[in-house]
Chain A
């Protein structure tokens, strides 16, 4: 059964820093990997989708990488802003399900 781990569980940084969130998974037989953002008590906002054949995807200040063989993905956030404060979820896509990590809670202070 797929297991997804996100490290760190929480992260606090000053505004302007570049940061990396980590996601690891146990079964490399995946179709894709999605990164989501979730504000407290709110829904999921999809940030980036990486297909299993891809190595990385970029959207604005966000860059996600995927190394299927080692079971790892990273989400890089450049020049962090207070508005980036949220919980970031990594979800690994099998054929019939997404398996989620428990998330990294990010706080960016002004």
Chain B
């Protein structure tokens, strides 16, 4: 089954404790992206990757890092989480063959930073 998976689905952590949210897709997609969703602000892009070893900032990259060492994986790293990073996070992937295609979203990771 074609899918985007994220782990963990729920995470409660404390300020300053480094964490990684994993994202994996099994569709051989070139493009992967991270979004965060906050009440009243909607979904905003954090980082994206057009292919292996190619990453770029989205609209709200501060406080986040990403890496794309393999085509299927695109982890989101919070080196020193703060309470303002409490949010619902979504990973997405898409084929780029012939131009951008439909984006497929993971189930989301609800992060709480206390």
Q: List A residues at the B interface (Cβ < 8 Å).
A: 31-32, 34, 36, 41-44, 46, 49, 89, 91, 93-98, 100-103
Contact = CB atoms under 8 A, between A and B. Distances in A.
Contact of A34 (B35, B45, B56, B103): B103
Nearest to B44: A100
A31 B102 CA distance: 10
SS class of chain B's interface: helix, strand, loop or mixed?
strand
Interface residues of B, number: 27
A95 B107 CA distance: 23
B74 to A, nearest CB: 14
Contacts, number: 58
Given A43-B105, A43-B106, A46-B105, A31 B42 contact: no
Interface of B: 31, 33, 35, 40-45, 48, 50, 56, 58, 88, 90, 92, 99-108, 110
A96 B99 CA distance: 10
A103 B42 contact: yes
